[in-house]
Amino acid sequence: MATLLWNGPATTDTWNSLNSQEYVPNKFSLYPTKTSGLIYTTTNTLSNHEIAVYNSLGQLVKSSNTNSSIDISRQSKGLYFISISRNNFSQTFKIIKQ
């Protein structure tokens, strides 16, 4: 069809990039976003993931290799950034410690 419209060669998907049946993105979620202690994480796979907690200055204050939750009850009140990573994929969330 492409050759009929623009009189050029037909195109092919040489890398099979349009076939997305094999690609399953890593997807993380985190709750609650306002907490006084525990933060729960979920993912689309059952494997463990690395959780890193950073304060508003960007300093690492806590880390854990888990698949469910992390406790920040000993941290002071304020804004924190939670980075969840696994297999070269990372996602960052903001939370408020009350």
Instruction: Tell me the CATH number at 50.
Output: 2.60.40.1930
Indicate the number of domains in the chain.
1
Note every long-range contact of 34-38, with CB atoms under 8 Å and residues 24 or more positions apart, other chains counting: 34/95, 34/96, 34/98, 35/72, 35/95, 35/96, 35/97, 35/98, 36/73, 36/97, 36/98, 37/71, 37/72, 37/73, 38/69, 38/70, 38/71, 38/72, 38/73
Identify the pLDDT of residue 13. Answer: 55
Q: What are the backbone angles phi and psi of residue 79, rounded to the nearest 5°?
A: -90, 135
Identify whether 2 is part of a domain. Answer: no
pLDDT for 60-79, tens place per residue? 999 999 878 899 999 999 99
* Domain region containing 32: 26-97
Identify whether 12 is part of a domain. Answer: no
Segment among 2-16, 30-44, 82-96 with least mean pLDDT: 2-16
Identify whether 48 is part of a domain. Answer: yes
Identify whether 17 is part of a domain. Answer: no
Identify whether 16 is part of a domain. Answer: no
